[in-house]
A = this chain, B = another copy of it.
Amino acid sequence: MTQTQSTARHRVVIIGSGFGGLFAAKKLKRADADVTVIARTSYHLFQPLLYQVATGVLSSGEVAPATREVLARQKNTSVLLGDVTDIDLDNRVVTSRVAGRVMHTPYDSLIVAAGSGQSYFGNDRFATFAPGMKSIDDALELRARIFGAFEMAELSDDPAEIQRLMTFVVVGAGPTGVEMAGQIAELAHRTLRRDFRKIDTTKTRILLLDGAPRILATFREKTAVKAAARLAKIGVEIRTGAMVTDMDATGITVRHEDGSEERVESTCKVWAAGVQASPLGRQLGEKAGADVDRAGRVAVNPDLTLPGHPEVFVVGDLAALALPGVAQVAIQGGKFAAGRINDRLKGKESDRAFSKPFHYFDKGDMATISRFSAIAEIGRFTFSGFVGWLLWLCVHLVYLTGFKSKVTTLVHWTVSFVGRGRSERVITEQQEHARMALEVLHEEHEHGDEPPPAESRRDSEVVADRAR
């Protein structure tokens, strides 16, 4: 592969290193083109396993291999770190920024796979109290909050505070919310059972809320019922038809279907409720005169191209298709777009406004509930329990990118599923300080700092009180 690179060589730019971007890049491996992947993070994120990073099963490296390493042997492909701020459709230049540096990258073909972030449905201040589940930062922050809540409960001797610290609320009962709730339940009821002396972690409350009438709306009702039964069995309380109306450092307010409001005291909340497409969706829509839906996704032609721009493909969460926001949609979209570019480069297809349309092949969907128990829908078939879990295990091992992750991941899974261990539990001091700032924000539960008299101190086991 020592081709001399002339400036006349076709330039493909891919925005994003998620499922859409990475699989598009891989599909262009043999293309006679210079491929550039521009992404905001240096890693490809295997988002479906992020909940295991948050709950201490896997390390960040296991779900987030360096994109550069994944594509190292693909000589025609460069990886650039950068947050794309502008796409100049007329001059065909992508502008990105990182660490005060601005880059301009020209393209002949563009694949926009910028994905989506968390949506708080207009209540962005909720983000402080309930981190989402979209990035490694989110997962590490949640890990610190989940394990930190138990640490703080162990230090407290105020029953109300202990109750609040040991109540976890997961908002959103799609696959991510279900998996998160299930993992917190396992953590509390199994993993941490022997770790604490004052608190009994098996008394932990886990609430799973959703505004919809049932959990797992994208699954069949039969499957969802099975999942709900299993969740109830491992100690997750499900509240459907429940809308979050307010939130602060110590709790959450929920409005039920009958209009009644309920306040749940809870320190650690997780937001798994909605997504909002990258701002690039709106930008592309405005520039190309294409529709943008409420979730910020841009309307595309049946071949995933941007209206009026056959050289620009939009794939994954950013494209307004009547498809779920799952990895397979992004993977197949990315591969499809790359395939069209390959065809054009080989002269098999002209650069027309409309080419072969994209068809999504539904390979099914799955979610783990607890160890040895998962639900899976593949075609007309539904699997649950142990068989579903084995399916889940195989599919995830096959899809995990890179050999290294697979082996250590298998080891981590073995110790977590067969044993009780969670070896990835580190809370950084930075996170501890952030949590402290959050707690200090909320003063309603604070009392004096006065140490008790020496006598009573000697008599008590451990005397805890709050700072002024």
Contact = CB atoms under 8 A, between A and B. Distances in A.
Interface stretch (A274-282, A307-315, A373-381, A402-410): A402-410
A151 B95 CA distance: 17
A64 interface: yes
Interface string A443-460: 000100101101001111
Interface residues of A, number: 97
A383 to B, nearest CB: 29
Contacts of A245: none
A60 B424 contact: yes
A404 B430 contact: no
Given A61-B426, A408-B412, A426-B60, A101 B152 contact: yes
A78 interface: yes
A462 B106 CA distance: 7
A303 interface: no
B436 A95 contact: no
A451 B95 contact: yes
A106 B460 contact: yes
Contact of A427 (B42, B411, B429, B464): B42
A68 B196 contact: yes
Nearest to A53: B426
A355 interface: no
A442 to B, nearest CB: 9
Given A11-B461, A135-B429, A136-B426, 5 more contacts: A41-B429, A65-B423, A66-B195, A101-B464, A405-B423
Q: Nearest 3 A-B pairs (CB), nearest first?
A: A59-B59, A61-B424, A60-B426
Interface of A: 5, 7, 11, 34, 36, 40-43, 56, 59-62, 64-66, 68-69, 72-73, 78-82, 91-93, 95, 97-106, 135-137, 140, 147-148, 151-152, 154-156, 194-198, 402-405, 407-408, 411-412, 415, 419, 421-430, 432, 435-436, 439-440, 446, 449, 451-452, 454, 457-467
